[in-house]
Amino acid sequence: MTSEHSTPVIHVLDQSTVNKIAAGEVVERPASVVKELVENAIDAGARSIRIDLSASDGKITSIRIIDDGSGMSPQDALLAFVPHATSKIAGIKDLDTIRTLGFRGEALASIAAVSRVTLITKPQGSGAVTGTKIVIAGGTVKEHAGTGAPEGTSILVEDLFFNIPARKKFLKTINTELARIHTLMEGICFSHPEISFRLFYNSHEQMVTDRSTRPLDTIARLFGADTVKHIFPVDAAYPFMTITGYISKPSLSRKDTARMLVIINGRFISSLLINGAVRAGYGTLLAKDRSPVAFLSLQIDCGLVDVNVHPTKKLVRLSREKEIAEAIRKAVSAALLSHDLIPAAEAPVQKMVSLPTATDNQPAYTYPLAETVSSGVSESTHAGTIDSDQRLRQTELMTGIPVVPSKLPAIEVIGEFGGIYILGRTDTDELVIIDQHAAHERILYEQVLLRLKGEHHSQELIWPVILHSTPKETSVLQDLLPALTLEGFILEDFGRDTFIVRAIPVVLGRMENAGIIDEIISDLVNDASTGSVNNRERITRIIACRGAIKAGTVCTREQCQRIVNQLRLTRNPFTCPHGRPTIIRFSRTDLDTMFKRT
């Protein structure tokens, strides 16, 4: 291909090309510019930071950050744009104890390499009359002069990526870019409640926080008072880490993790590991496709956190990450267990229907009265009562449960509704509505788990149950046999798509009814939720669901009371194993508000 004397193929790139390539790592998009400049302002000790974005023709045309921080001398202002020039570290050792957000000395150089930057700065408290103005475009200094300026720094970035058309092309729609900036700013505001931030877009105010010593104020400012109503504090200390912040009650959850904000040592980061650990702390309190809302600040031994693994430092590497994750899971779980998680009823204020008012000869709207007003609990059919009794008795006869104080107040049943809901009055004088099936499911679920720890969790059937399966079911069942045996089922493969059930888990012992066993096995075979939870968890949930009193089964008042009493004994009485609530309460004040008595 090449002869011996041809010119060399390899050559060293010129500095401007090197800078542009390096810039690609730090400055991916407009949000990265905002991030780097705001972080510089924070590092400069600013008390208030203003961000101005302008856009036209579907593109962000300028980004300006103004701070009242330390400012820079004329010499420093020029040095700041030199690659790897930083005032924050002197050597690699300093990284172990780094307290500033920046330290790589790359941001300003990178931004200036791919845009046109105008910097105006004046050092704080220097008494200098004039400040410094520097204009750099594509890495070349165009202007360096004195100028009148307030103390602090203002940086204007225009024509972003004017000299890298390829990068420009990859930018998403303006809304996507703005959304990224918004999310970023939420995290930054949350991590620095002591700074007041103001974000403007085409001169319209988008986000404002006030200086505060309480992170909760900032959370309220960013996400609204409603969010604050549904979160409560987490506090935990371990030898290598402390956790503070707020997590949501299960009543506030989301389909995505956008409201899981995590700060490690003052740095807003994103971490799947930590998000996963927080989610794990909720266990069955949330449905499996939901994520909680969480605002957490972790202080981790500096030695365990490596912030220098990602050019934009959005990711960090944690040593002992398993321990850290486990500690977070535990802290979240403990906080949830010690908290009163009964969702309060929301007054449907907006949905209030206004009734027509009475005129002289026309009576006002008359409310249709039900012909018979049911008083309290209706009696169920005899057969139904017996079935419910069997199901209930089984969950009542628990022995060896450590008695812990109940997380629910004492509840007196006052009625039931539709065979679905139990109505009760608490000793704290609140009205509660309990989902009968969900409550009993929770009771069974916890008992199955407890039983599994004991030795004799299997009980032989007097009349073995014969199951006929389809060929597909047969193969699934054959695979599940070991897991089922572990859970207390004894099934024999009889060949020709027939199985004989000889024993079932003790928890189902009083329901020796072929129907339930059939339902459980067919649920297991057809359950598509494989993967997300293990076999044991799946089997436990299915037993709980199928063993529990069905919705629509009308229970006697006495039976309702037994369900409630059993629910009070559970570790987590607030949700069923799938994360749906078991109980909702209405305080007198809630009701008064709904009836506009206040």
What is the rounded CA–CA span in Å between residue 78 and residue 595? 67
Q: Which stretch binds ligand ADP (CB under 6 A): 82-90, 132-140, 267-275, 469-477?
A: 82-90
Based on CB atoms, which residue is closest to Mg ion, 72 or 331? 72
Smallest separation (angstroms) from Mg ion to the CB of 41: 9
Single residue of 26, 34, 38, 107 touching Mg ion by CB under 5 A: 107
Single residue of 29, 35, 53, 103 touching ligand ADP by CB under 6 A: 103
Smallest separation (angstroms) from Mg ion to the CB of 80: 9
Give the DSSP per-residue string, 464-526: EEEEE--HHHHHHHHHHHHHHHHTT-EEEEEETTEEEEEEEEGGGTT---HHHHHHHHHHHHH
102 part of the interface to Mg ion, by CB under 5 A: yes
304: which DSSP letter? G
201: which DSSP letter? E
Binding-site size for Mg ion (CB under 5 A) equals 3
72 part of the interface to ligand ADP, by CB under 6 A: yes
HSE-up (13 A, CA, CB side) for residue 129: 0
Residue 72 partner contact from Mg ion, ligand ADP, none using kind-dependent CB cut-offs of 5 to 8 Å: ligand ADP
Alpha helices in 313-399 (DSSP H): 321-337, 382-396
HSE-up (13 A, CA, CB side) for residue 263: 23
Q: Which stretch binds ligand ADP (CB under 6 A): 39-47, 192-200, 399-407, 559-567?
A: 39-47
11: which DSSP letter? -
> CA-CA distances (angstroms) from residue 489 to 14, 19, 440, 486, 546?
73, 67, 21, 7, 15
Based on CB atoms, which residue is closest to ligand ADP, 311 or 573? 311
User: What mask, x for binding ligand ADP by CB under 6 A, covers residues 205 to 224?
Assistant: --------------------
What is the rounded CA–CA span in Å between residue 313 and residue 330? 27
Residue 325 partner contact from ligand ADP, Mg ion, none using kind-dependent CB cut-offs of 5 to 8 Å: none
Smallest separation (angstroms) from ligand ADP to the CB of 218: 21
Q: Which stretch binds Mg ion (CB under 5 A): 33-41, 223-231, 512-520, 554-562?
A: 33-41
Based on CB atoms, which residue is closest to Mg ion, 65 or 555? 65
CB contact at 8 A, 411 and 321: no
151 part of the interface to ligand ADP, by CB under 6 A: no
> CA-CA distances (angstroms) from residue 538 to 157, 448, 528?
55, 12, 10
Single residue of 31, 67, 115, 295 touching ligand ADP by CB under 6 A: 67
- Dihedral of alpha carbons 323, 325, 330, 335, sign: positive
Single residue of 104, 313, 407, 510 touching ligand ADP by CB under 6 A: 104
Based on CB atoms, which residue is closest to ligand ADP, 40 or 540? 40
Sheet holding 131-137, edge to edge: 140-147, 131-137, 116-122, 152-158, 59-67, 48-56, 196-201, 204-208
What is the rounded CA–CA span in Å between residue 76 and residue 92? 22
Q: Which of residues 5-34 bind ligand ADP (CB under 6 A)?
A: none
Smallest separation (angstroms) from ligand ADP to the CB of 80: 3
Based on CB atoms, which residue is closest to ligand ADP, 81 or 201? 81
108 part of the interface to ligand ADP, by CB under 6 A: yes
Count of CB atoms situated within 10 Å of the CB of 526: 10
40 part of the interface to Mg ion, by CB under 5 A: yes
Return the residue nearest ligand ADP (CB atom). Answer: 102
**What crossing angle do the helices spanning 471-486 and 535-547 adopt, rounded to 10°?**
100
Single residue of 19, 70, 115, 291 touching ligand ADP by CB under 6 A: 70
Q: Is 380 helix (H, G, I), strand (E, B) or coil?
A: coil
Q: Which residue has the tokens 């060399």?
A: 8
Q: Which stretch binds ligand ADP (CB under 6 A): 106-114, 332-340, 409-417, 495-503?
A: 106-114
What is the rounded CA–CA span in Å between residue 288 and residue 451? 24
Single residue of 33, 41, 219, 448 touching ligand ADP by CB under 6 A: 41
188 part of the interface to Mg ion, by CB under 5 A: no
Single residue of 50, 59, 64, 88 touching ligand ADP by CB under 6 A: 88
Pick from 339, 379, 394: nearest CA to 566: 394
Based on CB atoms, which residue is closest to ligand ADP, 107 or 298? 107
44 part of the interface to ligand ADP, by CB under 6 A: yes
Return the residue nearest Mg ion (CB atom). Answer: 102
Single residue of 60, 63, 107, 316 touching ligand ADP by CB under 6 A: 107
Based on CB atoms, which residue is closest to ligand ADP, 131 or 509? 131
Based on CB atoms, which residue is closest to ligand ADP, 127 or 482? 127
197 part of the interface to ligand ADP, by CB under 6 A: no
80 part of the interface to Mg ion, by CB under 5 A: no
> CA-CA distances (angstroms) from residue 373 to 32, 49, 377?
65, 64, 11
> CA-CA distances (angstroms) from residue 429 to 247, 287, 566?
28, 30, 20
Binding-site size for ligand ADP (CB under 6 A) equals 24
Residue ranges that bind Mg ion, judged by CB under 5 A: 40, 102, 107
Residue ranges that bind ligand ADP, judged by CB under 6 A: 36, 40-41, 43-44, 67, 69-72, 80, 85-88, 102-109, 153
